[in-house]
Structure 1
Amino acid sequence: MGRQFAKLAFTPLVKRQQELHGSRRQYQRIEESGEPGSQLGEDEREFIEARDGFYMASVSETGWPYIQFRGGPKGFLRVLDDQTLGFADLRGNRQYISVGNLQHDDRVALFLMDYVGQQRLKILGRTTILEGGDAAQELIAKLRTSEPNALPERAFVIHVEAFDWNCPQHITPRFTEEEIRDLLEPRNG
């Protein structure tokens, strides 16, 4: 865990719970001397670009959290630089809950899972939505995937503020059809 993630996640009430349950000293050391944890490195880049989906949380005007699964071909969530992610937002059920929520509060939490490798990466960031106009169309073209019937409506740009690799404990391995095919495929050698 990086210092920046701890700074954002460890509110006074969280710290009180850590004190009550005996973990505060450990996390205080991270806050004081841990890695910054705000710039994505090669490990994060490879992990992100290998995902075919992630969960994104936003908060409504009334304070309710909302979590949505975003999926696509591997690499649809792109690392644009060491503090920026982006993806083309495709037309879906047309509820626009995340888009509406982000007009109110631009903060998001992303939760990326590797069920086979039993790894998870949490990312906290602020989102800019580009829709309409030349700049939006240019970015959408850059972020677009090869999905034949995909209809991108806008581009999401996520400015990473902090990230945390979470422990593998309690992650149940799950496999996609592609992963099962790869495991069952005879090896030449």
Structure 2
Amino acid sequence: MTLPPPPFGSAGERQLQQHFGTADRADRFYDQQVRSRLTPEMREFIGRQAMVFLASADSRGECDASLRAGPSGFVHVIDARTLAYPEFGGNGVMASAGNMIENPHLGMLFVDFTHHHVGLHVNGVAHLYHDADLRSIHPGLPTDVAPGRGPEMWVHLTVEEAYIHCSKHIPHLEPAPRPAGRDANRPRDADYFTEGNRLR
């Protein structure tokens, strides 16, 4: 008789746990910390966050990491199994969203750098929606996420697992207003990392 796979953890995780002798400790973590839905505390935590780090990969497994930011709560908690956040126009590459078309698995990492110094991993399956289409399903979506800008699309995530990122190595950061105007000594974004460019 073949046993079903454990509910959390990849085959690679399990292999390394056996190799390094951490399987019992990992099992306690899966049992005590990993959830298949968002707890009320997780939902409240997400509602306070102004940024999230994204992990996506294309159909070949080639990875991309990205950042999304907005006013607190720009990642909208629909219910314990569902999140949505808006995608706005950027450089036109659409690397993260393009990966989601090929491979819908998405990892999100929310980090509180300023108060409790804790993080929350949320992994799940993403689908892309036009604004009007998702609003027809979830009319409670916020309408003022970015004043004066409308989303090109929404990323709708069905949560599969959520778990803590411990505070041990999370630095303390203090929010500060962005300086008015552009620093004349700072290269423009398009030139910032070009060969031969040096900060003065």
Q: Same fold (TM over 0.5)?
A: yes
Q: Say whether the 8 Å CA contact 1:73–1:145 is kept in structure 2.
A: no
Look up the SS of the partner of 2:164 in the other structure.
Answer: strand
Q: Which of 40, 43, 48 is the matching residue for 1:42?
A: 40
How many residues matched? 170
Are residues 37 and 20 of structure 1, via their aligned partners in 2, closer, same or farther at CA, if it must alter by over 3 Å? Answer: same
Q: Do residues 151 (structure 1) and 150 (structure 2) align?
A: yes
Which residue does 1:87 correspond to in 2? 85
Higher Cα radius of gyration: 2
Superposition pairs of residues 1-189 of structure 1, within 5 angstroms: 7-8=7-8, 10-31=9-30, 33-34=31-32, 37-116=35-114, 117-131=116-130, 134-136=132-134, 138=136, 142-177=141-176
2: CA distance between counterparts of 1:157 and 1:87?
Answer: 7
Q: Give the alignment's Cα RMSD to 1 decimal.
A: 2.3
Q: Say whether the 8 Å CA contact 2:70–2:145 is kept in structure 1.
A: no
Are residues 135 and 12 of structure 1, via their aligned partners in 2, closer, same or farther at CA, if it must alter by over 3 Å? Answer: closer
1: CA distance between counterparts of 2:33 and 2:120?
Answer: 16
Look up the SS of the partner of 1:142 in the other structure.
Answer: coil
Are residues 89 and 141 of structure 1, via their aligned partners in 2, closer, same or farther at CA, if it must alter by over 3 Å? Answer: farther
Task: Name the amino acid aligned to 1:103.
Answer: I
1: CA distance between counterparts of 2:135 and 2:167?
Answer: 39
Q: Say whether the 8 Å CA contact 2:51–2:67 is kept in structure 1.
A: yes
TM-score after normalising by structure 2:
0.76
Q: Say whether the 8 Å CA contact 1:84–1:158 is kept in structure 2.
A: yes
Q: Percent identity?
A: 22
2: CA distance between counterparts of 1:35 and 1:168?
Answer: 14
